[in-house]
Amino acid sequence: MSGVVSTLRAATAMTVLAPVFVPAPAVADPAAVDPDTGPVAYANAASLAVTDDGYGARGGSVISETQRSPVTPGSSRLGPARSAVPGSDGERAAVGPHYRLAIEGHDVTATLRDRRVPAAEARADFVLTDRAAEAEPVVLSFESSVTAVECSSAEDVTAEATAARLSMLDADGDLTPVEPPRAGDEVRRRDLPFGPPGEIADDERATSDITVRRVDDYEQLLRQDQWRDGDVTAASGWLVEIDTHVWRADGDGSGLLDLPGLGHAGDTENAEDAESAPVRTIETTLVLGGVSCSVPSGFVRHGGGGAEPGAPAPSVPVTIPAGAGAPVEARSAGTDTGTGPSGASGAWWGAALLGAGALFGGAALVLARRASSVRGGS
């Protein structure tokens, strides 16, 4: 399948982990593939993004280190240091402190086989915990998750996603097993007792809905800018979507936002409906074991995407550093900042006011000196 350039951008680069590179046996034609258009594969442990902060803006994001297949036969493997997302103070600042996705027993590789066939695989156990709740419940877990892709030719690409066990929180607060979704299916649970990855106000309460399905399109992956597709692309992974509904804790509807079609909670005609509607819905997306492979059109084993015979292999990093993207606009929990000057805008307004003050102050000083001069001359 053909991919399109993603609109999701990961920002500040985090600590770079030393890649583990395993060369493959020598082959008859060692020429490197084209790093910009040739066969390539990527493998990622996990990523998390707040896709809607509840006010219609994109929140923060965290993307773990991503392995890129080498330009000559070999594999790139994720180092052992990555064990959770978010995994640092900077990453927690980007997406919020409450979610912790443990990544256990991982084996994440991106490979260029000796026939120039790109392939990627991510094996791991995943455990998502809500650390804001008193008992820190497990929201979902994958045991022995395996996601894999291989692009043998432009006409022969495969994508797989399996797991020995999937367990999810239920409405009673218990972790119960469910059948992992097959291709084209999904697993959904509603009204679960946990909240968003970030803070909410003390006088608010939250419940969440979870949907789990397979990644079946390149655009569903959360990825860094350096992660590219090709003429033919296959993708796999587990797509986890969480919709967190936030209400006033007292349940009397006071303080609710104006909602289309509902009016305000204080309106008698719509009061009953407004009191049962959430103040806002926060949308969070996770991709577990995201992998992809891409080849040029017409690619066949041993052919396509090669450099000139004898040309030196280009220097292309096989590990893309982790990235943490800050929210589009900083907002305090439960508060809509509106359109007033704040953050960068506030700084601009402050500079403008200071500049205006200096201008008028200078003008006043000039006028005062002229007046004094006139009085002295008379």
Banded model confidence at residue 189, pLDDT cuts 50, 70, 90: very high
Q: Are the CB atoms for 93 and 42 separated by under 8 Å? A: no
Arithmetic mean of pLDDT over the chain: 79
pLDDT of 26 > 60? The answer is no
Instruction: Kindly state the percentage of the chain with pLDDT values over 90.
Output: 63
Does residue 66 have a pLDDT over 80?
yes
Q: Which of 220, 225, 219, 229 is nearest to 297 (CA)?
A: 229
Question: DSSP alpha helices (H): ranges in the chain?
Answer: 89-95, 271-275, 343-377
Q: Per-residue pLDDT for 127 more than 80? A: yes
Segment of 27-41, 95-109, 253-267, 310-324 carrying the highest mean pLDDT: 95-109
Could you tell me the sign of the dihedral formed by the alpha carbons of 244, 248, 251, 252, in that order? Answer: negative
**Residue 60 pLDDT level (bands cut at 50, 70, 90):** very high
Q: Compute the average pLDDT of residues 47-59.
A: 97
pLDDT in tens, 69-85: 999 999 999 999 999 99
pLDDT greater at residue 254 or residue 348: 254
pLDDT of residue 357: 40
Q: Which tokens is 23 given? A: 């060369």
Q: Quote the pLDDT of residue 314.
A: 75
CB 8 within 8 A of CB 224: no
Report DSSP state, residue 312. Answer: P
More confident residue, 308 or 144: 144
Residue 339 pLDDT more than 70?
no
Average pLDDT over residues 265-282: 62
pLDDT at 245 over 70: yes
pLDDT of residue 155: 95
Q: Indicate the range of 193-197, 224-228, 260-264, 367-371 predicted with least confidence.
A: 260-264
Q: Which tens digit of pLDDT belongs to each residue from 219-235?
A: 999 999 999 999 999 99
Question: pLDDT at position 372, please?
Answer: 43
The SS3 of residue 42 is strand
Using pLDDT thresholds of 50, 70 and 90, give the confidence band for residue 345.
very low
Neighbours of 36 (CB within 10 A): 11
What per-residue confidence (pLDDT) applies to 74? 96
In 166-230, which residue ranges form alpha helices assigned H by DSSP? none
CA distance linking residue 220 with residue 199, whole number of Å: 26
